[in-house]
Structures are given as C-alpha cells and as structure tokens.
Amino acid sequence: MRFTPAAALLAGALALSSSSGIGRIGPQGPSTIHDTSPEAAAWSEKGLAALDAGDLTAARNNYETALLLAPGDPNIYFALGKIARAEKMPGRAIKYFDDAIRLDPKNQAAVLEEGLAMMDKGAIESARQTLAQLKTLCNKNCAIAEPLAAAIAAGPPKVITADAGKAPVAPPLAK
C-alpha cells in the first residue's frame, strides 16, 4: 500500500517517456528511419538465435520484447510474421507483414511473405492482388515474385478433416 503512489508516478513517467517517439511525422510523412535502440537490437538477436535453434516460442517472445522497445522497426514485424507463418497462423502473419509494409512500403520481401500467408489462409484473390503489387514494386525482372506466382498456380492448400485419417468401422457382430 505504501508503494502504490510511487508506482503510479513511475508508471506515468515511463508511459510519457516511451511514447515520445511514437507518431513522428516529418515533412514527407511518417518517418521511414528505423530507430532501433541497442536494447531492441539485443532482443532481436536473441530472437534470431532462438529461431535458428527452432524454438519458435522463445523467438516470438524475444521479438515481441524488441517490438515494445522499437515499435517503428519493420524488420521486427517481418520476423514476427515469419514466426507466425511457421506456427501455422496465417491471419496473424498477414497482420505482421501488413505492419511491416505500412512502415516500409517498398519492402518486397514483406509483400511476398504476405502473399504467401494469404495463400496459406486460402485467400487466392487477395494473393493475386498482392502478386500484382509485388510486380509493380520490382518493375521488370521480378524473380522475387516467382514463389508467390507458383503458389497461386498450385491453388489453395488442401484441407484435411479429422475424419480423413480414420479407418472404417466394422459392423457389430450378430448374437
């Protein structure tokens, strides 16, 4: 009880200081400079190490911590999108890739991965629109668009039901 006023004051001070860089707008619009603090970079490196080790949960936790420290860094959103795709969560992946594209509109890798996540979800028409956007970004020689074009040509992912793997049930024996 004695610490409640001090804790509230400290929380307010931290909230004000952490929000000072949010929403910075320059003469050309939102800042595209990626101000990554050393702490955020350290958490991103931990996330990358966990991802390389195959620990998706630790990688996600580390990148989410980095995101709290550097909310304007599109690379962190991109990494979280890749993790979400690996965890078979295409809706969340699309959101993260969309955030990366919002912060860095010319990020071809994020546009590609967003299109692939759309295919994972079965949203073929949205993936086609994303492919057109990607081809617009890369102009003539667009080798980066080939995986998305191939995924669209292959069609939506096959849906497997829970009943698909069950063996047929034999009729009961007569008495």
pLDDT of amino acid 8: 45
- Tell me what percent of the residues of the chain surpass a pLDDT of 90: 64
CA distances from 106 to 98, 102, 113, 149, 152 (A): 12, 9, 13, 19, 22
pLDDT at 66 > cutoff 70: yes
pLDDT at residue 27 in the model = 32
Among candidate residues 115, 21, 4, 6, the one with its CA nearest the CA of residue 68:
21
Q: Is pLDDT at 170 greater than 80 in this prediction? A: no
Domain chopping of the chain, boundaries:
90-156
Q: Which of 7-11, 35-39, 68-72, 135-139 has the highest mean pLDDT?
A: 68-72
